[in-house]
């Protein structure tokens, strides 16, 4: 009996360890610390906001985004109309999660990508999100890439991912 319990415990723990992946299309892939997020086009911050929204590879607004498809918000510290010029940002950490929007039917799945700038841009993070229900799953990094189109691109720090 003890051997059976030990075997099942070891099997369960090893199954959890195998969730890690180096494929951005896998649910087990996390953006490694030290990766680069490149802004490839000028991005406009509206005059009354501290963020810009990108979905379907285009800039959009909070009111026009479709919450049930992956959309990403690029957050900065200061209010005001301005244009963020193309540059490379460093990923300092990421967090995946979910929270209820309207219990028990609507969940918000999200990934927060914390960023720093070498040029002094007052960036905080990029938050990608999608609404769903209890039968849905968290989106993949590949789905983030599709939502961003050619506005942003990732260069993953592969040496960090393999640790």
Domain ranges for the chain, please list them. 22-161
R_g of the chain computed on alpha carbons: 18
**pLDDT of residue 18 exceeding 90:** no
More confident residue, 25 or 147: 147
pLDDT of the residue at 102: 87
Looking at per-residue pLDDT, the higher value among 24 and 148 belongs to 148
- pLDDT value, residue 163: 43
Strand positions, DSSP E, the chain:
36-39, 43-45, 51-55, 58-60, 71-76, 82-84, 87-102, 106-117, 123-132, 152-155
pTM attached to this predicted model: 0.83
What pLDDT, on a 0 to 100 scale, did the predictor assign at position 162?
46
5: pLDDT strictly greater than 80: no
Say whether pLDDT at 6 is over 60: no
DSSP 68: T
What confidence tier does 14 reach under pLDDT thresholds 50, 70, 90?
Answer: low
Q: Which residue has the tokens 């460093």?
A: 90
Neighbours of 112 (CB within 10 A): 18
């Amino acid at each position: 009996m003890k051997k059976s319990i030990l075997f099942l415990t070891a099997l369960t723990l090893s199954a959890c360890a195998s969730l890690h992946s180096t494929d951005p299309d896998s649910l087990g892939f996390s953006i490694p610390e030290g990766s680069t997020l490149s802004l490839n086009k000028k991005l406009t911050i509206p005059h009354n906001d501290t963020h810009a929204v990108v979905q379907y590879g285009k800039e959009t607004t909070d009111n026009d985004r479709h919450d049930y498809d992956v959309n990403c918000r690029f957050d900065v510290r200061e209010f005001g109309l301005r244009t963020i010029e193309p540059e490379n940002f460093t990923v300092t950490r990421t967090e995946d999660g979910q929270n209820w929007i309207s219990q028990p039917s609507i969940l918000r799945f999200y990934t927060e990508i914390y960023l720093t700038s070498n040029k002094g841009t007052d960036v905080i993070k990029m938050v990608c999100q999608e609404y769903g229900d209890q039968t849905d799953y968290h989106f993949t990094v590949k789905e983030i890439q599709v939502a961003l189109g050619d506005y942003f691109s990732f260069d993953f720090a592969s040496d960090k991912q393999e640790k």
